Chain A
Amino acid sequence: MQHRSRLGTLGQLFVATALALPPAVHADEAELAQRLEKLSSELEAVKAELAKMKKDREQAAVVAAPVQSAQPAQTAQATKPAEAVYTNTEAAPGGAPETVITGYGEINYNRPVHATEDTQMDLRRAVIGLQHRFDAQTKFAFELEAEHAVTSAEDPGEVEVEQAFIEHRLSQPLAIRAGLMLIPTGLLNENHEPTYYYGVERNFVETAIIPTTWREGGVQVVGDVADGLTLQGGVTTGFNINKWDATSTEGKESPLGSIHQELALASAKDLSIFAAANYRGVPGLLVGGSVFTGGASQGAQGVPNMRVTLWDLHARWTPGPWDLSALYARGTISNTAAFNSTLVGNPTLVPAVFDGSYVQAAYRARFGNYGVAPFARLEFFNTGRKYEDIGPGLTPAPLPTERVITTGLNFDINQHVVVKADFQWFRQLSAANRFDLGLGWAF
């Protein structure tokens, strides 16, 4: 404000000077000398004013410098003590920003050792996210994902909104979310960044059985009900059995992955409900489970009422440098016999039961700020464990259970960048045994 008023004074001086000049052309010599003298004194005043402003600015810089720089104590000036207690923060002055940009992604290289001609390198995904806080109780979370680098009519890429929801905190332990949300199932679905899991690719159980990254549209309540116990429950959109493509093998790769809707013009006549409980009350321990169930017929003509149910149990324990985890997930689809009867002759009918489990152990060692984590994982999964009987010769035989052993290394450049390498052995599809390399980031 002081500078503004001084600038105003200067402006007036210049205006006054400009107005004073024209009459001087017609004045006599004495008057001219008088005016010149006046002008000279005014110029001196302007110079003094400028010098004062310059000095003020320099003084302001000196006061600010000790706070910003690591000046030696001898030259430092003390700040107000009562305020200084509260200056310990890594955020900008004024607190955390309202909008935070995040992102994660991974580039993977897969080399099947018995079919090297199928070797691929892929920008598996690149995700940009943001969180915007409207007020102390309300925020918005958003993630936009691009898969396989290029999306067009001729290219394999996809662009998708992975999350878009509002969270409103009703009280300290209770929050409500509405929008497109991740379903709290298993260990990966809500925490799927590459820095979070071991191995180049996400495990098979949490992709083939649990269709990570699985999201639905709806409403969810989250409550921290007791020390370390979090309960989540909600009503959302669900699966659509009418998307089942019996001519494709996609349903054998991931039954639920082939009929999920991802809130893209999702059929919503049949809604689903879910509940999840996770206990983290003991440091390093997570024990939890979830169940999701809902109709999948969506009122389609001639389609029987079918229900999809998926549940899981999981545990993770991280004593010291060890990171141990285990998970079992099981899915069922009811009334598949009537539905499959119309699909006889096609390669992929709808399974009644599909399930999978894994155990995993990793050891995290640190070298300076680098982290090295060798790991091993043993997985069993079956995407067609049981088919309902539709008659002799027509009922599909249960699929063989696949067993996959993965062992490798996560190398953490820091908390946000990871380089991975692993090898995977398949019992059934041994031709698919492969070497993987990956680069992942998350911030």
Chain B
Amino acid sequence: MRVEVLPIVLGALPASAWAVDYLSASEAEALMFPQADEFATANLRFDNAQLQEIGKRAGIPARSAQWGVRVARHAGTSLGYVVVDNVVGKFELITYAVAVGTDGAIKQIEILSYRESHGGEIRLPAWRKQFVGKTVAGPLRVGEDIANISGATLSCNHVTDGVRRIVAVLQVARETGALS
């Protein structure tokens, strides 16, 4: 796997790159890692074997060989990682951010944009808190450790699948030494 890390000063992200409804990516990462004094961009590229491993751990395909990760740092020490992702709910894209600690446990998730007519409740802290502390060991599945929102089953499933994929991506990246 190849990784390239470039430090970017906090707040320098192009906010205009997002059609943000609730939070921008830079606001989300600052919210999730308030201690960070720097966020670096890591471009992860996985080979076929690694993609298969991600798919195996997530229970769904890795989807992409390339993943953009933001590494939160304080005084040069890694605090964790932020991945911003899009999944389709029922009709529309849902943009969300996942913060994962260096131990692989989910620290926080934030919904950046939610455009569906139903199921906006996934933005509520009570629903998002269900993910906190979970790792790739899971199960991270609706109907098991993640409760559904009635009337927004597809949105719940797809965001939960997306989070499970991201923790698998980060886990494989950590195990291969691409992320410290």
Shortest CB distance B30–A (Å): 14
Taking a contact as CB atoms closer than 8 A, the residue among B13, B63, B144, B151 that contacts A286 in the complex is: B151
A232–B136 alpha-carbon span in the complex (Å):
39
* Interface assignment of A100: CB less than 8 Å from any CB of chain B: yes
- Cα distance A89–B25 in the bound complex, in angstroms: 14
Residues in chain B near residue A228, CB distance under 8 A: 121, 124, 126
Task: Report chain B residues within 8 Å CB of A74.
Answer: 2
A-B contacts besides A224-B120, A284-B149, 15 pairs, CB < 8 Å: A78-B4, A85-B13, A85-B68, A86-B84, A88-B67, A88-B83, A91-B86, A96-B88, A100-B92, A167-B117, A190-B151, A227-B124, A280-B149, A280-B150, A318-B150
Q: Is B78 an interface residue (CB 8 A)?
A: no
Given A131-B91, A172-B21, verify A88-B147 contact (CB < 8 Å). Answer: no
Binary CB contact string for chain A from 358 to 393 against chain B (1 if under 8 A, 0 otherwise): 000000101001010000000000000000000000
Q: How many residues of B contact A (CB 8 A)?
A: 61
The 4 closest A-B pairs by CB, nearest first: A284-B147, A73-B2, A283-B147, A89-B86
B→A interface (CB under 8 Å): 1-2, 4, 6, 8, 13-14, 17-19, 21-22, 25, 41, 43, 45-48, 51, 59, 63-70, 83-88, 90-93, 115, 117-118, 120-121, 124, 126-127, 130, 141, 143-151, 153-154, 157
| Distance of A282 from chain B, by nearest CB (Å) | 6
Q: Are A281 and B147 in contact (CB under 8 A)?
A: no
CB pair B88 A90 closer than 8 Å: yes
SS class of chain A's interface: helix, strand, loop or mixed? loop
Q: Contacts A69-B65, A227-B124, A318-B148: A196 and B153 contacting too (C-beta < 8 A)?
A: yes
- A191, B146: Cα distance in complex, Å: 21
* A136 and B19 contacting across the interface, CB-CB below 8 Å: yes
A415's nearest neighbour on chain B, judged by CB, is: B157
B91 touches A100 (CB 8 A): yes
How extensive is the interface on chain A, given as a class? 35 or more
How many angstroms from the CA of A187 to the CA of B153 in the assembled complex? 13
Contact B47 A70, beta carbon cutoff 8 Å = yes
Closest to A318 in B: B148
Task: Please list 20 pairs of residues, one from A and one from B, whose beta carbons are closer than 8 Å in the complex, sorted by A's number.
Answer: A73-B45, A76-B45, A78-B43, A86-B17, A86-B68, A87-B66, A88-B67, A89-B85, A89-B93, A95-B93, A102-B91, A133-B92, A196-B153, A222-B117, A228-B126, A280-B150, A281-B121, A285-B147, A286-B149, A369-B59
Residues of chain B lying within 8 A (CB to CB) of residue A22: none
Bound Cα distance from A131 to B19, whole angstroms? 19
Tell me whether A82 and B14 are in contact in the complex, defined as CB-CB below 8 angstroms, given that A91-B86, A91-B88, A318-B143 are known contacts: yes
Given A78-B2, A85-B25: A70 in contact with B151 (beta carbons within 8 A): no
Q: Does A61 contact B (CB under 8 A)?
A: no
Q: Looking across the interface, which residue of chain B has its beta carbon closest to that of A70?
A: B65
Asked whether, in the complex, the Cβ of A84 is within 8 Å of the Cβ of B41, the reply is yes
With A69-B65, A90-B87: A85-B147 Cβ-Cβ less than 8 Å: no
